[in-house]
Structure 1
């Protein structure tokens, strides 16, 4: 139990003795504040809410309550106006926090709230035969981090790569390949060559509009099972997946399912039948729709006038399949903000179909990856390839290592961990709804609020443990005064907050909470390192300070892991 939970328990018990039984310790915990100035106390409790129940002014309640609070983890308590300001027994709290972390290790901050229930997470989902651009980075790394965080909360995440492997664009690509394609070139550089053909199709169509009709015809052939169309489509898909896997392997991202859009081709008729049986389909200009007027939304298009099904039909089929396969606690869709209306419609249609579980489905939107302030476009060939960005980042880190630490035995591995980490962290430190402007300079700066900065703080702490001959101990007995500096207390306070940060990140599907936290912890640790002599002359003082360093190592490593980053021990 954290010291804040212990404080909340004490306050709730004291309030109960004063005649207030309506505030549980959980409610009290939610009311606790951190004073703006550490000189005012470590924790503060506001008494405004109690005035009505006790029929007293908040300052009088604060004075009475302060007199009833004592004992570990408290050192003293004072009433300051309507607040009770509480000072903690820092040595007692330090022993408790460090002891908990060193005992629990990587499980520190874990929870069983998920009870092992499944959470399918739709993430990444690049389009087959198109390059894996910086635009796809966001869904991949945000989704992977959310999966890690949900797992930390006791859920069983199911990572689903819902590949864009169906649609009229494949008809266009087949036409382009048949007109201008070269099998040897595609085999040599599949994504690059397929993109070139796709871009050329859109350039040529401006002079020859009949190409659009040919594209539609070939997609119809593909839908009807034409042998040549099927062969080319499968080839494009297989070659694309091979290329994508190189990038996923580099980023250490793995999937439990790669069922793409095509997987649901034989599952959509059932959706249409169910909607008809439930009397939800109506005709509109020859198309079949589900009316959503009561939600102030446009109708959800299920079947076009030519009988073709749409994204909504496919996603309804996918939702049914996932619920039947996983009986999920929650289902998450990490998809760009521009698809917000689509998902709102999807959930409302499922609700109208009578599926109460639709309330547990969540669209996790995110902003765009911009270049020079503009959206990237595959069609126009204006795209920055993620593979090239990762390669450049790794190369830049290798140069730094060669310059700063040429004798490092694991140079290549560390360069990969730090280079890839720089790219991932650049995205995840931002709140997901914000647009991120792609900039080589910002992405590959290894100072300030960056992944490499946090990784270096971890490596520096590991180095201290090696130099100090640190040996893990089963119990924590701190030498008196060893951690009585404000710098040490700032580190301990942050370490104690880690479980709360994970909980907040999980509740809001927001990895940036952890991104900001590990930056704060790295900065606070570096202040401690700069101002306190960790390897002191006294053996017991050194041992105590190294135990704090070991706790920092454990939490930084786990925080980085949750974000999808490695934590090198040497850099």
Structure 2
């Protein structure tokens, strides 16, 4: 039968489900989402019986966090009917007519709980999953500009994420942006959007002057070709150590000059000495080198391009391990001077920018945004800043891609920077453009440093985690012998461990990188999630049944509470995906998947396959295959590669 390996890991390969059906209810697609059919049924039945417009009831029907609270719940106060909510709740329960799909509703305080009848739900949900397979839960209509008129095309979104600095290792600090951004790109893809994955590299600035000069002193051509990023990082650390040593005497002289000036003493000798120190400093040499790059020096640019190209090739290898590929490799260097000049002109014309001590600034306090303070747009020497390039970038992207939405997946430390960027865009008269941009922030992985060389390189971390998972796998010799590519499987398990630890909490929460915790099979971890999938694959293999045989299963036999609860949870997968487009949190999906694994782990002893009579065996296998498929679909949206054996 079909296995996890037979299905594409990349969600881009899916032909999404969409429908031409129309409904009087907003965002309602019963042919794509089984729960929508129940919403329509309840809204129309209850509306007719209670004299309430069904259109008013439909959007108020919410899904529940725990199955004991029902499959859908109606918070009666949300109807804003002038009656005692508890009494109205009981009244609505009594008026609800007999239904083939829904049990009599249960009033619980001010909430009316609806429980779906198991038989029709089981037939609908399992049949759909077995038929739709990898596309179950996808909804191409969500990404259409006008669902009623598909010819208007898809909405387009740019997801800017990862964005490491060229010539620096891809460390765990970059990991969050990469994991979250990859997940968001997958999410919008299965929801039917036209997704552009963009990597906006930190590939410009004085640090490249520092790196180039450092390479002249410490570089090794052989090492550069063998491991470009790690070698360039070693060079960067060494030259930075020299900068640190030179900073002390310069700082000391500046303090002496300041003290003498306060006493009105002559400082000409000290200033001359300071000028000499600054002139020969690596920091000043780096500034001059970068100035030559900005002025178009071909030799300087050729070396920079080489560092950039080598770095990108190395990054691509890491991204491939994480199931990520980018549509566009952009960067600060790619922003045209004309774009920045046009932005300056627009800011000046709109009265946004002003001169201050030789520099050009934006004083947000004068524009109703005191919390944003002031931002420098152009330095005294006329050079642009990071913010300036971002303003140019946002204009270029709007012109090039005509996007409906753009998401920046950037750490919370950049909250102020992004808020300033969006506000400037708005003040320039582009409120429409600013409203289409969103900052998806996140907390940091604690204990990481780049300047002092104490950084934990991601490739090293992934190797350590893979080695640990490999040792765990070897602990069961019988199962280990059945794994075709144990090293590859260990690598996938290691990646899953890292990614699941990262996605477990809300994005804004930082966390401590914990190798022991992430590789454990105890609790809701990556290895446990993979184990749940591998176990379902094992049950499928041992059953001896083909997927074609499951279509004829008698699903009426699935009457046990464990089976019913599992079906109820599987039914909500399309809703979970839709809700995730609102939370934009990977933990929304991850929490759902772990809920499923918990129900599964308590079901195996009750819903046995081996030893069951043939028809019951087939029905239970249909249930387990449906669960495996939804687990697989969810893992894939998160960017994980489900394994079949471990």
TM tier, smaller = over 0.9
Instruction: Name the SS of the counterpart of 1:462 in structure 2.
Output: helix
1:189 aligns with 2:227: yes
TM-aligned CA deviation for residue 472 of structure 1: 2.6
Q: Name the CA distance, whole Å, in 2 between partners of 1:409 and 1:382.
A: 37
Q: Name the CA distance, whole Å, in 2 between partners of 1:491 and 1:165.
A: 49
TM-aligned CA deviation for residue 366 of structure 1: 0.7
What do the CA deviations read for 1:377-428 (whole angstroms, capped 9, x no partner)? Answer: 2111121000011112222233333332223223233222222222222212
1:406 aligns with 2:481: yes
> What number of residue pairs does the alignment pair up?
563
Q: Name the CA distance, whole Å, in 2 between partners of 1:78 and 1:508.
A: 29
CA contact (8 A) 1:367 1:432 kept: yes
1:152 aligns with 2:190: yes
Instruction: Name the SS of the counterpart of 2:201 in structure 1.
Output: coil
What do the CA deviations read for 1:429-469 (whole angstroms, capped 9, x no partner)? Answer: 22211102112222332432122211121111111112212
CA contact (8 A) 1:428 1:511 kept: yes
Greater displacement, 347-356 / 473-482: 473-482
CA contact (8 A) 2:550 2:621 kept: no
TM-aligned CA deviation for residue 274 of structure 1: 2.7
Q: Name the CA distance, whole Å, in 2 between partners of 1:278 and 1:399.
A: 63
Q: In structure 2, what is the equivalent of residue 224 of structure 1?
A: 295
CA contact (8 A) 2:445 2:512 kept: yes
Q: Name the CA distance, whole Å, in 2 between partners of 1:81 and 1:381.
A: 59
Q: Name the CA distance, whole Å, in 1 between partners of 2:199 and 2:111.
A: 51
TM-aligned CA deviation for residue 219 of structure 1: 1.3
Q: In structure 1, what is the equivalent of residue 76 of structure 2?
A: 47
Q: In structure 2, what is the equivalent of residue 388 of structure 1?
A: 460
Q: In structure 2, what is the equivalent of residue 463 of structure 1?
A: 538
CA contact (8 A) 2:169 2:233 kept: yes
Q: In structure 2, what is the equivalent of residue 535 of structure 1?
A: 610
TM-aligned CA deviation for residue 507 of structure 1: 1.7
1:161 aligns with 2:199: yes
Query: 1:295 aligned to 351, 366, 369, which one?
Result: 369
Q: In structure 1, what is the equivalent of residue 433 of structure 2?
A: 357
Q: Name the CA distance, whole Å, in 2 between partners of 1:480 and 1:345.
A: 57
TM-aligned CA deviation for residue 3 of structure 1: 5.7
Instruction: Name the SS of the counterpart of 1:205 in structure 2.
Output: helix
Q: In structure 2, what is the equivalent of residue 273 of structure 1?
A: 345
Q: In structure 2, what is the equivalent of residue 568 of structure 1?
A: 643
1:93 aligns with 2:137: no
1:28 aligns with 2:103: no
**Alpha carbons of structure 1 residues 5 and 218: separation in structure 2 relative to 1, 3 Å:** same
Q: Name the CA distance, whole Å, in 1 between partners of 2:336 and 2:412.
A: 26
Q: In structure 1, what is the equivalent of residue 394 of structure 2?
A: 319
Instruction: Name the SS of the counterpart of 2:475 in structure 1.
Output: helix
**Alpha carbons of structure 1 residues 15 and 308: separation in structure 2 relative to 1, 3 Å:** same
Q: In structure 2, what is the equivalent of residue 19 of structure 1?
A: 51
Q: TM-score, normalised by structure 2?
A: 0.82
Q: In structure 1, what is the equivalent of residue 103 of structure 2?
A: 75
What do the CA deviations read for 1:335-361 (whole angstroms, capped 9, x no partner)? Answer: 110001111111111111222122010
Q: Name the CA distance, whole Å, in 2 between partners of 1:439 and 1:61.
A: 48
Q: Name the CA distance, whole Å, in 2 between partners of 1:364 and 1:553.
A: 31
- Where structure 1 has 5 or more consecutive residues not aligned to the other structure, the ranges are none
Instruction: Name the SS of the counterpart of 2:446 in structure 1.
Output: strand
**Mapping for residues 327-342 of structure 1, pairs under 5 Å:** 327-342=402-417
Query: 1:66 aligned to 94, 98, 102, which one?
Result: 94
Query: 2:238 aligned to 166, 188, 200, which one?
Result: 200
**Alpha carbons of structure 1 residues 56 and 425: separation in structure 2 relative to 1, 3 Å:** closer
**Alpha carbons of structure 1 residues 291 and 232: separation in structure 2 relative to 1, 3 Å:** same
**Alpha carbons of structure 1 residues 168 and 20: separation in structure 2 relative to 1, 3 Å:** same
TM-aligned CA deviation for residue 547 of structure 1: 0.7
What do the CA deviations read for 1:172-230 (whole angstroms, capped 9, x no partner)? Answer: 11222223333333333322222122112222223324222112111112211223322
**Mapping for residues 401-550 of structure 1, pairs under 5 Å:** 401-404=473-476, 405-473=480-548, 479=554, 482-550=557-625
RMSD value over aligned CA atoms? Answer: 2.3
**Mapping for residues 219-258 of structure 1, pairs under 5 Å:** 219-258=290-329
CA contact (8 A) 2:358 2:380 kept: yes
Q: Name the CA distance, whole Å, in 2 between partners of 1:189 and 1:478.
A: 56
Q: In structure 2, what is the equivalent of residue 348 of structure 1?
A: 423
TM-aligned CA deviation for residue 531 of structure 1: 2.8
Instruction: Name the SS of the counterpart of 1:207 in structure 2.
Output: helix
Instruction: Name the SS of the counterpart of 2:547 in structure 1.
Output: coil
**Alpha carbons of structure 1 residues 256 and 85: separation in structure 2 relative to 1, 3 Å:** closer
Q: In structure 2, what is the equivalent of residue 397 of structure 1?
A: 469
Q: In structure 2, what is the equivalent of residue 368 of structure 1?
A: 444
Q: Name the CA distance, whole Å, in 2 between partners of 1:74 and 1:198.
A: 66
Q: TM-score, normalised by structure 1?
A: 0.92
TM-aligned CA deviation for residue 333 of structure 1: 0.5
Q: Name the CA distance, whole Å, in 2 between partners of 1:168 and 1:458.
A: 49
